[in-house]
């Protein structure tokens, strides 16, 4: 398995970490919506990229 796949999976995990980051009650509570949007975009973009690469790989094998 290529190392770029692990990098994409690490980016997805980092996006989930940003989504679950507890910032309420800290001085960073103001940037909570920003971290949520960045985490959501990271999960969506890297997941879609892996899905597209997987589908292309399957069709190349046919």
Distance of alpha carbon 46 from alpha carbon 41, whole angstroms:
8
Quick: pLDDT tens for 8-47: 999 999 999 999 999 999 999 999 999 999 999 999 999 9
pLDDT of 1 over the 80 cut: no
Q: Say what the pTM is.
A: 0.84
Domain count, the chain: 1
Q: 37, 36, 42, 33: which is closest to 14 by C-alpha?
A: 42
Q: Which domain holds residue 56?
A: 3-23+31-61
């Amino acid at each position: 398995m290529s190392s770029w796949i692990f990098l994409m999976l690490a980016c997805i995990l980092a996006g989930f970490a940003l989504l679950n980051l507890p910032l309420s009650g800290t001085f960073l509570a103001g940037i909570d919506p920003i971290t949520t949007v960045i985490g959501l975009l990271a999960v969506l973009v890297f997941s879609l990229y892996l899905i597209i690469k997987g589908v292309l790989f399957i069709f190349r094998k046919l």
